Amino acid sequence: MSFTVKIRQSDAPLAVEMGDTILTAALAADIDYPHGCQSGNCGACKSRLHAGEVEMSPYSDYALTDEEKDSGLVLACRAVPWSDCEIAWLEQDEVISHPLRKLDCKVVALEHMTHDIARLRLSIEAHGPFEFTAGQYARLHFPGQPPRDYSMASQPNEEILEFHIRMVPDGEVSSFVYQDLKLGDEVRVEGPYGISYLREKHAGPMVALAGGSGLAPVKSIVEAALAAGAEQPIHMYFGVRAEQDVYLEDHFQALAEKHANFSFEIVLSEPESATDRRCGYLADIMADDFEDMDGSKAYLAGPPVMVETCVGKLKEMRVRNEDCHADAFYTEAEKAKLEEAS
């Protein structure tokens, strides 16, 4: 008995015998499927499972992280079909591999951008360089504090790392950053992590949606795309609750003046006074502006409810699942609730 596997990059459907992996069958059929070790250790055969069920034989975390698995990625050399399937190997810019580093850094700037967002800048003192792709995040270890994940707001080639830290009510670590952290303090930075990074090869339109401190990775993605000479339309929306939450507006307006293909808009969800700005929820505002976004890539970062509603709306607007790159920011309290519920 066999299952039929449709490989998006190959014309003919592939028959995979029960118990065989997709890679074994593909190579036997002379399909040029990207691969390396064939034993679940290198990640070269990483693929997106679009439909169907597979069982994965054991593999290393290096080849496929839990985060990648949860987002629908599999290793073709470990994937044994349990039904007919549809799969695509990742194109070159879908695969990134940066060395995982533990950097010794020092605080060189710490400033309040709004009432509850601080911009932290760190210089790398040892164990660099830090290679990452715009949109990724790092684990920050502040002295005497449990580690916390924050996205890089800086671009990969910048010497100083920038992070945006939101003051979380009753948040142990953010309180430490606001009250105790000083210039010159040491911070360990571990990373990079994350799969919601810029796909530079994509030539279609881009939409970048940031909520609150989700501005950090979106800033890095948009700036890296523009610096790389992206010419496609890039629509960026920054959603915040009220006027007091707006920051870096001048910075993005200056970018919009410099790049004709880049537009930037601030959206208030709960304005406290009359305003000329657009008001509402990001998902609705975006749907007012565009009917059909077929062929676009979307990058989203912010509170989970914002990310979920925007991804839902993007799908209605014909953005494919694999073209939505989203990072939902959960607080420690939210994570604990989710764990309790699971």
Residues engaged in binding ligand FES (CB under 6 A): 35-38, 40-45, 63, 75, 77
Q: Which is nearer to ligand FES, 35 or 199 (CB)?
A: 35
Q: How many CB atoms lie within 10 A of CB 210?
A: 26
Q: Which is nearer to ligand FES, 96 or 246 (CB)?
A: 96
Residue 35: CB minimum distance to ligand FES, A: 4
Q: What is the three-class DSSP state of 236?
A: strand
Q: Which is nearer to ligand FES, 10 or 175 (CB)?
A: 10
SS3 for 267-284 is: EECCCCCCCCCEECCHHH
State how far the alpha carbon of 228 is from the alpha carbons of 46, 48, 72, 79, 223, in Å.
26, 26, 28, 36, 8
Q: Among residues 98, 104, 217, 227, which one has the least CA distance to residue 154?
A: 217
Q: Which is nearer to ligand FES, 58 or 229 (CB)?
A: 58
Distance of alpha carbon 100 from alpha carbon 154, whole angstroms: 18
Q: Which is nearer to ligand FES, 21 or 220 (CB)?
A: 21
Residue 34: CB minimum distance to ligand FES, A: 8
User: Taking a C-beta distance cutoff of 8 angstroms, is the pair 105, 187 a contact?
Assistant: yes
Query: What's the DSSP call for residue 242?
Result: S
Q: Which is nearer to ligand FES, 40 or 81 (CB)?
A: 40
Residue 22: CB minimum distance to ligand FES, A: 10
Q: E-strand spans in 85-242?
A: 85-89, 101-112, 117-126, 137-141, 148-151, 160-166, 186-193, 206-211, 234-240
List alpha helices for 90-207, DSSP H.
172-179
Residue 78: CB minimum distance to ligand FES, A: 7
Residue 87: CB minimum distance to ligand FES, A: 13
Residue 192: CB minimum distance to ligand FES, A: 20
Q: Which is nearer to ligand FES, 97 or 275 (CB)?
A: 97
Residue 46: CB minimum distance to ligand FES, A: 7
User: Taking a C-beta distance cutoff of 8 angstroms, is the pair 143, 182 a contact?
Assistant: no
Q: Which helix (H) or strand (E) holds 46?
A: strand 46-51
